[in-house]
Amino acid sequence: MSGPAAAPAPPRRLFRDGRLFDGRRFVAATDLRTGADGRIRELGTGLRPEPGEEQVELHGRWLLPGLVDCHVHFREPGLERKEGYATGSLGALHGGVTSVLEIQNNPPLLVTRALQEQKLSGRAGISRVDYGCYVNLVAEALPELAAMAARAPAAKCFLGCSTGMGGVDDPALLRRLFAAAAAARLRVVAHCEDDAVMARAQAGLSGAQALRHERNRPPEAEIESIRGALAAAAQAGAGLHVFHVSTAEGARLVAAAAAAGQAASASTAPHYLLLTAEDAAAAPQNRLKVNPAIKSAEDRAGLLELLEHGRIACVGTDHAPHPLSEKARDYRQAPSGFPSVDLLLPLMLAVVDRFRLSLERALAAVTGDAAAEFRLAHKGRLAAGADADLVVADPGATRVVDEARLPSRSKWSPYHGWTLRAFPERVFLRGHEVFRDGAAVGPPRGRALH
Ligand SMILES: [Zn+2]
C-alpha cells in the first residue's frame, strides 16, 4: 500500500554572510543552514559547507523569516474575478509573505465543516504560500462551530454591522456567538465598527463633508464597538483579537483590557501607519476608501507609539482587492478596500523611514510577533526547528512601485509611484525556493496551516 507520492525534499542549503533577523531582533549570527526536511537546522557564524549543500552568498543582505499576514481576503471560492489564491498568493510572495490567514467575506461563508474542508483542500495545488482560514462567526455557523475549531486560526466576527456578509448588530446574538466561540475554544477575531454610531454621524453630514469617508465612519464608531466587543468577550470568557485598529483610543482600550488581565489583543494595518484622512480624501478614484476609514495624524502617531511598545501585537494588510473600475464609481457606490499584500515588507520599511517606529519592531510585527499572536509555532522565526520560510532582501535597494507589475489580480495600487525599499529578491517556503526576481519558481507548494 502506498499513499500519494511524497513531495520531493528541498535542497539542503547554507546561507552565508547575511544580516539575520530572527523574528524579534537582528542577531550576531551571519549564516543559516536548512535541512532536507524543510526546516532550519542551525544559525551560526563561519559555518562550514557540508557535502551536497547548496551555498547562497548573501553579501550582507537581510535574511528574514517569511512574513505572516494575519488578515487577507483572496475571495476564493466565489469571487475569483476580484482575486483568487493563484494571484493573491503570488502577490504575497512579492511582499515577502509566506503565510497568510485569510477571511472569506463573500459567499460561501465558512459556516459548516464541509465548506471549511472544501475551502482548505481546494486551495492545495493553487496557493503558493501556507494558508489558514478563519471561520465566520455568524448564527449559521453555531451548529458546527466546535467541529471546525481544529482547522481554524480563530472565528471572525464583524461587529455592529448588518450587511449580511457576516455582520452582527444584535447584542443578544453577539453574546450567543461569543459564548459559542469560547465553548469551542476558538478565539474571536473582530472587525469593530458600530453601525448605529455611523448612522448618527451620517445624518449630520452635508455637502463635501458627506463625501469624506472618515466623517461617515468616524473614530467613535470604532471606539464604541471595541468597548462593546471587550465587554462581550469578557462576559463570555472568549479571547478577543481586534483587527486593523485605526484609532489610538481603540487600541488603548484593548491594551488596557489586556493589562487588566483580559485575553485581548489588537493588530493594525500599514495604511493606518502611513496615511491620514487627508491623504485618503485627496486620493483619486476612492483608492484609499477602506473600512475602518483612515483617521487623523494624531491617531497615526498614537498607533505608532502603541506598536513600538508592543501594545499593538502585530500588523496585517487587510488586502482587499477590487477592480479599479469599481473603485472609480461615485463615493457612495465604490467598494471599500484595496490590494496591499504585494508590498507588505517594503511598506513596513516605509513606516520606519517616514515615522517613529524602530526597524526591529516593524519587522517583528510582521514576522515573530504575528506568528506568536496567532500561535503559528513553526513560522515567523529564524531558529533551529522552525520552517525554512526565508526572505532575502537588500535593504538599500529602492524601487518605484509600478501597479501594473504587481502580481495580485487588480493591477492597481494606492501606493503606485511610491519609492520603497527592501523588495524581496528570493523567497523560500519550507526550504523550497518559490520566488525569485519578481517571478514564481516551481509549482504551488502552499499547505493548510491547521
Ligand atoms: Zn478585512
pLDDT at 165: 59
- pLDDT above 90 covers what percent of the chain? 93
Domain ranges of the chain: 13-63+386-440, 67-373
Among the listed residues 198, 203, 365, the one whose alpha carbon sits nearest the alpha carbon of residue 273: 365
Residue partners of 41: CB distance under 8 A and separation at least 6: 33, 34, 35, 384
HSE-CB of 240 using CA atoms within 13 angstroms: 35
pTM for the complete prediction?
0.96
Question: How far does residue 430's CA lie from ligand 1's centre (Å)?
Answer: 27
pLDDT at 6: 63
Say whether pLDDT at 342 is over 50.
yes
Question: How far does residue 318's CA lie from ligand 1's centre (Å)?
Answer: 5
Length of the chain: 450
Question: How far does residue 222's CA lie from ligand 1's centre (Å)?
Answer: 14
Question: How far does residue 72's CA lie from ligand 1's centre (Å)?
Answer: 6
Cell numbers for 120: 482548505
Among the listed residues 48, 83, 121, the one whose alpha carbon sits nearest the alpha carbon of residue 322: 83
Confidence of residue 29 (pLDDT cuts 50, 70, 90): very high
Confidence of residue 334 (pLDDT cuts 50, 70, 90): very high
Question: How far does residue 267's CA lie from ligand 1's centre (Å)?
Answer: 12
Q: Helices 219-236 and 195-203, interaxial angle, to 10°?
A: 160
pLDDT at 168: 79
Q: What is the pLDDT of residues 241-268, one digit of tens each?
A: 999 999 999 999 999 999 999 999 999 9
Question: How many Å apart are CA 253 and CA 96, to the nearest integer?
Answer: 31
Question: How far does residue 136's CA lie from ligand 1's centre (Å)?
Answer: 12
Question: How far does residue 110's CA lie from ligand 1's centre (Å)?
Answer: 15
pLDDT at 171: 85
Question: How far does residue 292's CA lie from ligand 1's centre (Å)?
Answer: 9
Mean pLDDT value of segment 104-108: 92
Confidence of residue 163 (pLDDT cuts 50, 70, 90): low
Question: How far does residue 135's CA lie from ligand 1's centre (Å)?
Answer: 13
Say whether pLDDT at 1 is over 70.
no
Say whether pLDDT at 365 is over 80.
yes
Answer positive or negative: Cα dihedral of 43, 153, 343, 369: negative
Question: How many Å apart are CA 80 and CA 63, to the nearest integer?
Answer: 33
Question: How many Å apart are CA 346 and CA 78, to the nearest integer?
Answer: 30
Question: How far does residue 29's CA lie from ligand 1's centre (Å)?
Answer: 37
Question: How far does residue 128's CA lie from ligand 1's centre (Å)?
Answer: 21
Question: How far does residue 361's CA lie from ligand 1's centre (Å)?
Answer: 23
Question: How many Å apart are CA 159 and CA 245, to the nearest integer?
Answer: 13
Question: How far does residue 142's CA lie from ligand 1's centre (Å)?
Answer: 22
The 3-state DSSP class for residue 429 equals: strand
Cα angle for residues 401, 405, 407 (degrees, 5° grid): 110
**Cβ proximity of 159 and 225 under 8 Å:** yes
In the chain, % helix, strand, coil (3-state, to 5) comes to 35, 20, 45
- The residues annotated as belonging to the active site are 318
Mean pLDDT, the chain, whole residue set: 95
- The count of other CB atoms within 10 Å of the CB of residue 268 is 27
**Which uninterrupted H or E stretch holds 393?**
strand 390-393
Question: How far does residue 319's CA lie from ligand 1's centre (Å)?
Answer: 7
pLDDT at 2: 43
Convert 354-379 to b/e letters by CB count within 10 Å (16 or more is b).
Answer: eeebebebbbbbbbbbbbbbbebebb
Mean pLDDT value of segment 160-178: 77
74-78, 264-268, 418-422: range with lowest mean pLDDT: 74-78
The CATH code for residues 67-373 is: 3.20.20.140
Question: How many Å apart are CA 186 and CA 145, to the nearest integer?
Answer: 9
Domain 13-63+386-440 has CATH 3.50.50.60: no
Q: What is the pLDDT of residues 298-327, one digit of tens each?
A: 999 999 999 999 999 999 999 999 999 999
Say whether pLDDT at 114 is over 70.
yes
